[in-house]
Amino acid sequence: MAAVANPRLDEILGMLRARGGRITTPRRAIITALLTSGGHITADELTDRIQADYPDVHLSTIYRCLETLETLEVIEHIHLGHGRAIYHLADEAHQHLLCEMCGTVVEVPDALFATLATQLRAGYGFTIRPRHFAVLGRCDTCTATAAVP
Ligand SMILES: [Zn+2]
Ligand SMILES: [Zn+2]
Ligand SMILES: [Zn+2]
């Protein structure tokens, strides 16, 4: 499990190195865990996965690595709702829609927010960063269910 041959892993580690980051065991383990989980994983879930392979890696080390990897823009955290922040790899940037009723998460391209971003910048002098939080609402299924009296 720890030694997955993955071209994307090499790519991301290369990016990390190019930005001046050292490749340490916990950093590599975090990136591997994010790749194999498909992103969207809390720090606690990451810790569980990493400690399964590397029991010596301490929780505080993992948190520190998460911060460093975020500063180097290799990963980023987002908030889906009231729950804990989740992490994903920064190179697969997308926006999230969260159904408040069933918790379904839909990933949509960042570009969908481009018009809104341009208008808000021009009209209100405000640059939005829509990725940090999910947009909340209802999925089609829940909308249909809720409509039934
Ligand atoms: Zn995501
Ligand atoms: Zn945050
Ligand atoms: Zn729903």
Q: Which ligand is nearest to the CA of 70?
A: 2
Position 61 scores a pLDDT of 94
Predicted pLDDT at 94: 86
CA 43: distance to chain centroid?
11
Shortest-distance ligand to the CA of residue 66: 2
For residue range 21-57, list pLDDT tens digits in order.
Answer: 999 999 999 999 999 887 788 999 999 999 999 999 9
CB–CB of 106/93 below 8 Å? no
Question: What is the reported pLDDT for 110?
Answer: 86
pLDDT of residue 3: 54
Which residues have their alpha-adjacent CB atom under 5 A from ion ligand 1? 39, 88
- pLDDT of res. 51: 94
- 124 Cα–ligand 1 center, Å: 28
Strand boundaries in 1-147, DSSP class E: 41-42, 75-78, 86-89, 95-99, 105-108, 135-137
pLDDT-derived band at 1, boundaries 50, 70, 90: very low
Q: Which ligand is nearest to the CA of 84?
A: 2
Residue 137's pLDDT band (cuts 50, 70, 90): very high
- Return the C-alpha torsion angle 123, 124, 125, 127, nearest 10: -100
pLDDT at 7: 87
Q: How confident is the model over 55-79, as a mean pLDDT?
A: 93
Tell me the pairing of strands 135-137 and 86-89.
unpaired
Structure tokens at 21: 């980051």
Question: Which listed ligand is nearest to 134 at the C-alpha?
Answer: 1
CA–CA dist 22, 43 (Å, integer): 21
Residues 99 and 138 sit within 8 Å (Cβ to Cβ): yes
Which residue, among 42, 41, 15, has the nearest Cα to 28 in the 3D structure?
15
**Cα distance between residue 125 and residue 130, in whole Å:** 15
Q: How far is the CA of 149 from the centre of ligand 2 (A)?
A: 38
- pTM (2 d.p.): 0.79
